[in-house]
A and B are shown apart, each in its own frame.
Chain A
Amino acid sequence: MTSTSTIPAVRKHPLPDRGATRRGARARRARILSLGYVTPTWILMITVGVIPTGYAIWMSVTDQSLTASSPDFVGLGNFVASVFTPAFLSSLGVTALFVVAGLLIQFTVGYLLAVLIHRQLRGFRIARTVLLVPMLLTPVVVGLIWQFMLSPGLGVITTFADLFGWHLNVFADPWSARLVVVLIDSWMFIPFVMLMLSAGMTALPEEPLEAAAIDGASWWQTTRYIILPMLRPVITITLLVRCVDAVRLFDVIFATTKGGPGTATQSVSMLTYTTTFQFYQFGYGAAMSIAVAVLMIPVYFIYIRLTRI
């Protein structure tokens, strides 16, 4: 008998590699664990983000109102009836004015204050703390306080102005009312801009500034060609955050002018509030909110790109 060596046939069902099985089980456990970690976040996002947004989109295509029994689907009817209207476009113009004027004032004053803080002059810590106070106050309270101070015949500012023969009635004129809203909003949020820019300045490298000083660059040249370009990311994000806030501006208007005189200070938020919570036309209100969100998409894209989210 001759023995022949044969190559064992490949088993159809190889014995399990115990190491691999353990690794697989571990990987499965890790996956379940990681799912467990992210689940609360997903639930939170779906609960406070996806569902309300989806609900708002659904409402915007129905004629839902709190006083109607059952809403009907109206397609884009709400957008036609409430968004492409003179009232909405006018409020959009008012909002744009508040955004542009507010950002200009807040950036200019905020930057100058940040420079002063950054120089760490004597007493800068106290000054910084005091300057931050307006930002910590509730907007409605700030609005009411300013409204009292500027009230003709009663307010401290108007009474003081009267002493100099300057008869102030800021809420009676459309432009002065708009200016007041912008100034109050700026008074509250200049500290935020100052804080952000001041933090950005602290992180700037010293070398380019020293080189500019040695080359005899003026304050303006240093600012224009060195500081501002280096601060660009901080400035952009600061202004974007303020831009989004300014578009939502509501509390100050509600507390001071109620959108008046006429509709001179009626922002989009104010109009949406009135439509939704005074007239109970939820469909129209939702359509307005969606329209504003769509208009704000470019701003969000820039923000996301800059913050690398």
Chain B
Amino acid sequence: MKRRLISTIAVIGAVGLALSACSSSGGSKSGVPQDDKKPSSLTMLVTASSSEDTLKKLATEYTAKTGITIKFDEAPYDQLPTKLILAKQSNQSTYDMSMVDGFTLAQITASGALAPLDSYLTSDKAYDYSDFPQGLQDYGKVGSVSYGLPLSTEPYLQWYRSDLYSQLNLKPATTWADAISNAKDLQGAGYDGYDGVYGPAGSAHYYNAMLASMGGRLLDPKTYKPLLDSSVAKQAMKQYLSLKQYSPDASSSSAGLDAVNAFSHQQVGQMILASGWWGTFADPKNSDWAGKFATAETPLDKVGSYQPVSSLYGWLASISATSKHQKAAWDFLSWALGKSNAETFVETGAPPGRISTTSNAEFVKELPLLPSVADAAKDGLAMPRIPEMAQIVTVLSQDISSMASGQLSLDDGMVQAQNDLLNILVQSGRYKG
């Protein structure tokens, strides 16, 4: 009897210990002791992009210069935040640096996975942070703390097939009415007039770009109240959905990458997309229309009460909070993203939006979209820096997909989208109602 009691207590104790071990492993907040010795290697979490290609080129040069090897751990785009957050939760120094998509920055920093960069930015004069417009400096911040260095600056631009536009005597659209008119003409000539994204994964980004360009916003910038019940939001959605009739059939279920593939290989006349895809479209290995496309500003219409602006996206480079070599990581990033390497980034089509880069005449000649990057870097609209944005984008994309596929009418869809966003923000306590 006694022995059984002891065994039972032992088993319960073991299970309890295991459980507490599991739970405590997820919540460690201890700072990582820094190793001041020069590391033999640093690891950066990256995803397939022009930025990754450029960093890899520069890493070879950096290794030759310093003897520090830069290892790149490539992960699918969707998994970047998860990998970083899990590394932090398990307190593993798996990554020293990482690429971070701007709109996920707040979500990742909420877990404490990224190191603040302000002290480096202040002390490192060679990096020259003042060479970035204020809008771009804010792009890498959550609240007032900087967590990301501009790695690529990618405003949403109007992309069009210059050969088809010449053939049909069309001009790049300056308003959305022009864009629709061009779409009609292109479709009339047997081409796809537009390349929209209407699938359940990511269509919210494209709708948001149209909304911002019409003077609307997803959320009130101060209170975070969803603004999808505004007339401009509804008008933007109506216009966004109306462009589906000019888009390739596959756009009904497409995500951003599908739109890129369609523009690269099909007869698509125009689309709205982040500027960072220049390198892909300009490369004959990746695109059938290399040399036959051009860019222009996103069409702008003053419909809503806010300033119509382009949407600002782009990659940031961050330092992992669990890295034991944060100073060494900074040294690499500061050098790689410094002025002296601007040309390498320009060559691959997605440079950080330094003033000295976007105003350089030679660079502009090489990469004609740089003036657009300069404008967007100044006043482009980034997604709000709140941890709920990933959830908002997913849910809103599903609602857009429901409207595009006819499961919801425009009116019902907008009501549902507004309620969905309200639920998310009220539930998280972000919006007090």
Contacts and interface: CB of A to CB of B under 8 A. Distances in A.
A146 B402 CA distance: 22
A262 B266 contact: no
Contacts of A153: 248-250, 266
B110 to A, nearest CB: 4
B352 interface: no
B191 to A, nearest CB: 13
Q: How large is the interface on B (under 10, 10 to 19, 20 to 34, 35 or more residues)?
A: 35 or more
Nearest to A168: B249
B19 A259 contact: no
A152 B201 CA distance: 18
Contacts of A169: 249-250, 252
B361 interface: no
Contact of A261 (B200, B266, B387, B391): B200
B27 interface: yes
Contact of B252 (A47, A171, A274): A171
Given A50-B15, A67-B110, A172-B405, A261 B252 contact: yes
A81 interface: yes
Nearest to A85: B423
A51 B19 CA distance: 7
Most buried by B among A54, A81, A259, A262: A262
Nearest to B249: A152
B107 interface: yes
A73 to B, nearest CB: 12
Contacts of A129: none
B27 A51 contact: no
Interface stretch (B46-54, B295-303, B370-378, B393-401): B393-401
A254 to B, nearest CB: 10
B18 interface: yes
Task: Provide the main secondary structure of the chain A interface.
Answer: loop
A132 B257 CA distance: 34
A80 to B, nearest CB: 11
Interface stretch (B60-68, B82-90, B146-154): B82-90
Most buried by B among A66, A69, A152, A174: A66
Q: How large is the interface on A (under 10, 10 to 19, 20 to 34, 35 or more residues)?
A: 35 or more
Given A54-B19, A153-B249, A174 B407 contact: yes
B258 to A, nearest CB: 9
Interface string A223-265: 0000000000000000000000000000000000111111110
Contacts of B367: none
Nearest to B22: A55
B427 A261 contact: no
15 contacts: A46-B15, A51-B15, A153-B248, A169-B250, A171-B250, A171-B252, A257-B200, A261-B252, A262-B403, A262-B407, A263-B402, A264-B402, A274-B394, A279-B390, A279-B394
Interface of A: 46-47, 50-51, 54-55, 58, 64, 66-71, 81, 151-154, 167, 169, 171-174, 177, 257-264, 266, 274, 277-280
Interface of B: 15, 18-19, 22-23, 26-27, 29, 78, 82, 85-86, 89, 107-108, 110-112, 199-201, 248-250, 252-253, 255, 266, 387, 390-391, 394, 398-399, 401-405, 407-408, 427
3 closest A-B pairs by beta carbon, nearest first, are A262-B402, A260-B200, A172-B252
